[in-house]
């Protein structure tokens, strides 16, 4: 992310700007990841979507808190984790809706393809680390 883009968000508007930041970042991710609609912000999915997992949300939450130079606390971590889940969940819903409108691909079929690729790579979610630095 460019410095000028990042400077749009400030700690004085923390709640609003934290949502905007997360939305901005994951809209960029969605543009690059064809499987993005196949993920789930929930820990379980009855449609076969792959859960992003608690470790993912912990990393993103810590990134947001540190980026806005907030003092980390359990209430703040809980709030930001909920905020991140909400933003990503809404973005996933929009991405799935657009996928259905623009292509003949069903999001559930995309989820099956993602699972097959992850299994072929012996994907182990507990070993994957995201580095936002």
What 3-state class would DSSP assign to 78?
A: helix
Residue 104, CA distances (Å) to 49, 101, 112, 114 in order:
18, 8, 15, 17
DSSP label of 15: H
Its domain, for residue 38, covers 13-127
H-run or E-run covering 41: none
User: How many structural domains comprise the chain?
Assistant: 1
Let me know if 77 is exposed, middle or buried by CB neighbors in 10 A (0-12, 13-18, 19+): middle
- This prediction has a pTM of 0.78
Q: pLDDT in tens for each of the 133 residues of the chain?
A: 554 455 465 566 778 888 999 999 999 999 999 999 999 998 877 788 988 989 899 999 998 888 888 888 999 999 999 999 999 999 999 999 998 888 877 888 888 898 888 888 877 554 555 566 5
Residue 30, domain member (yes or no): yes
Residue 28, domain member (yes or no): yes
């Amino acid at each position: 992310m460019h410095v000028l883009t990042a400077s749009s968000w400030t700690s004085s508007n923390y709640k609003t700007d934290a949502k905007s930041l997360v939305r901005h970042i994951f809209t960029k991710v969605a543009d690059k990841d064809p499987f993005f609609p196949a993920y789930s912000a929930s820990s379980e999915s009855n449609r076969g979507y792959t859960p992003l997992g608690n470790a993912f949300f912990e990393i993103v939450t810590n990134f947001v808190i540190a980026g806005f130079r907030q003092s980390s606390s359990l209430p703040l971590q809980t709030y930001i984790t909920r905020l991140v889940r909400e933003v990503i969940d809404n973005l996933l819903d929009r991405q799935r809706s657009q996928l259905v409108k623009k292509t003949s691909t069903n999001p559930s079929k995309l989820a099956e393809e993602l699972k097959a690729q992850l299994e072929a790579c012996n994907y182990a979610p507990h070993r994957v680390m995201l580095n936002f630095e």
